[in-house]
Structure 1
Amino acid sequence: MNAILEIEGLKKYYGRAGNQTKALDGIALQVTDGEFLGIMGSSGSGKSTLLNCIATVIRPTAGKIVMQGEEIQSMKGRKLSEYRGKKIGYLFQNFELLDNLTGRENIMLPMSLHNIPDRESKKRLSRLAGYLEITDVLDKFPSQMSGGQKQRVAAARALIMDPCMILADEPTGALDSRNAKMLMEKLSGLNRDQHATILMVTHDSNAASYCRRILFIQDGRIFHELRRDMPGETQQEFYERILKVMAQLGGGSANVL
């Protein structure tokens, strides 16, 4: 499988020598095309910092992030805009929908910003809305939607540009267990059926059990890796292995649930 994302020696330090916080301390990893990779760790371990470096929200102190052969730190202007708008789709914990736009308008916003023809936009919207079961809320405003509906609208917005990779930051964090399960089943289905590449940061072991591979981060470094033994290992068995590693991380149940 081809690696579409390669990270080498990634560091992000805050503060000055003597009073320095090492949020990332030499992370190296690859994400292959069509992979569903989870990043886990206790609060403050560096997992969201990693995602934000990939999304170019945070500039790393050192190291390289290469997406499809291009180093993203060297991107500027139009190239950076294309990367943020087309190469990655970002799914936030708190939805980040615009309150004054309907579900349809929120989803279509990236298409209009990148001048995608109207016919193509409508075709993509129809396909995603049907799959994510949000057709009935397209003309509603976020204030009229449930949490689960908001997150599925946000997922459609992240997917509408057919990005190379979906970055999901605690996507189930603001959802109840029923809506969290529904969202994870949809993301898992996209990965399985449409070969979508997903990199998800989560502290939720239930959500992580949908991944094919998990990297555990502690103190800004990769501590452990788990791979689901496909097709033999059930999701429940993988979930139980995840719990054991989270306990070893020193988090116990407080960082698992």
Structure 2
Amino acid sequence: MKQAILEIESLRKYYGRQENQTKALDGISFTVMPGEYLGIMGASGSGKSTLLNCIATVIRPTAGHILMDGVEVSALKGSKLADYRGKEIGYLFQNFELLDNLTGQENILLPLGIHGVTEKEGNKRLRELAEYLEITGVMNKFPSQMSGGQKQRVAAARALILNPQIILADEPTGALDTKNARVLMEKLAGLNRMQQTTILMVTHDSNAASYCSRILFIQDGVIFHELRRKVPNETREQFYERILAVMAQLGGGSANVL
């Protein structure tokens, strides 16, 4: 039986004290299995971005445990923490976070130098990713010369270049138009399907969520609903309809799920 790649146990993140206390996360527990494509959805302020930032060690939780391959993330220090942030997880931001003074290729290869991997070692992976993500034509261009879709696919290549254990995607389609959002989601879904890339994605977009194999809905810092795609019989379109049905039951429809 496969061991979970990521285990979240009774995770809590509180802000403030006593009567002014805000419970961003209030005892969330779940696991992510190798090769899973897990979506996180919830209303604005539900705690989903806080959850992602705790896993990425951007935020320190108030209580609970985050285990990556059985190792307690909060116990990591120094070079082990740096390796976790750079090699174990790959982070895909909503607004790309590319460096404007570097070309597409230089942006993608940047993690190699930071983590002591030679450019020669990364070049094969770079070529594969650039071809798959259809960004070979922007390798020598600067971000200002790229479309939003190209920027996000360059950012995806940067997140993938070191073959991380898991990709953390924070609203990856949030800054994209419908066409580029669909292209990005198809590429991520393809990586998940063909290379068993593990993805944990926070999204407000029900269409983007329909590419996932499982979705956790968060409300007031706790998990209140879960959907699993019925593979192989359920189509993505049918899964999308079930996502919309859950949103409607929550009250307020899709506008209430951000």
After TM superposition, the score normalised by the length of structure 2 is 0.98
**CA distance in 2 between partners of 1:112 and 1:209 (Å):** 36
Residue 113 of structure 1: aligned partner: 114
Does 2:218 align with 1:217? yes
Residue 134 of structure 1: aligned partner: 135
- Over 3 Å off, 4+ runs: none
Describe the SS at the equivalent of 1:225. Answer: strand
The one-letter code of the counterpart of 1:217 is I
Describe the SS at the equivalent of 2:230. Answer: coil
Say if 1:24 and 1:50, in contact at 8 Å, map to a contact too. Answer: yes
Within a 5 Å distance, the mapping from 1:1-257 to structure 2 comes to 1-256=2-257
Cα offset, 1:248, TM superposition: 2.3
Say if 1:41 and 1:246, in contact at 8 Å, map to a contact too. Answer: no
**CA distance in 2 between partners of 1:253 and 1:17 (Å):** 33
Cα offset, 1:255, TM superposition: 3.0
Cα offset, 1:244, TM superposition: 1.1
**CA distance in 1 between partners of 2:257 and 2:189 (Å):** 20
Q: Deviations over 1:191-219 (max 9, x none)?
A: 00000000000010000000000000000
The alignment-based identity, stated in percent, is 75
Describe the SS at the equivalent of 1:99. Answer: coil
The one-letter code of the counterpart of 1:55 is A
**CA distance in 2 between partners of 1:249 and 1:93 (Å):** 25
Q: How many residue pairs were aligned?
A: 257
**CA distance in 2 between partners of 1:247 and 1:95 (Å):** 31
Residue ranges of structure 2 left out of the alignment (5+ in a row): none
The one-letter code of the counterpart of 1:32 is M
Cα offset, 1:114, TM superposition: 1.3
Cα offset, 1:250, TM superposition: 2.9
Cα offset, 1:120, TM superposition: 1.4
Say if 1:218 and 1:249, in contact at 8 Å, map to a contact too. Answer: no
RMSD over aligned CA atoms reads 0.9
Q: Deviations over 1:133-186 (max 9, x none)?
A: 000001100000000000000000000000000000000000000000000000
Say if 2:105 and 2:140, in contact at 8 Å, map to a contact too. Answer: yes
Describe the SS at the equivalent of 1:18. Answer: helix
The one-letter code of the counterpart of 1:134 is I
The one-letter code of the counterpart of 1:100 is N
Describe the SS at the equivalent of 2:151. Answer: helix
**CA distance in 2 between partners of 1:12 and 1:100 (Å):** 36
Cα offset, 1:247, TM superposition: 2.0
The one-letter code of the counterpart of 2:244 is L
The one-letter code of the counterpart of 2:44 is S
Cα offset, 1:81, TM superposition: 0.2
Say if 2:44 and 2:257, in contact at 8 Å, map to a contact too. Answer: no
Cα offset, 1:239, TM superposition: 0.2
Q: Deviations over 1:217-247 (max 9, x none)?
A: 0000001000000000011110000011122
**CA distance in 2 between partners of 1:117 and 1:215 (Å):** 38
Say if 2:206 and 2:254, in contact at 8 Å, map to a contact too. Answer: no
The one-letter code of the counterpart of 2:128 is R
Residue ranges of structure 1 left out of the alignment (5+ in a row): none
Cα offset, 1:187, TM superposition: 0.2
Cα offset, 1:256, TM superposition: 4.8
Q: Deviations over 1:41-65 (max 9, x none)?
A: 1111100000000000000000000
Say if 1:22 and 1:220, in contact at 8 Å, map to a contact too. Answer: yes
**CA distance in 2 between partners of 1:176 and 1:160 (Å):** 25
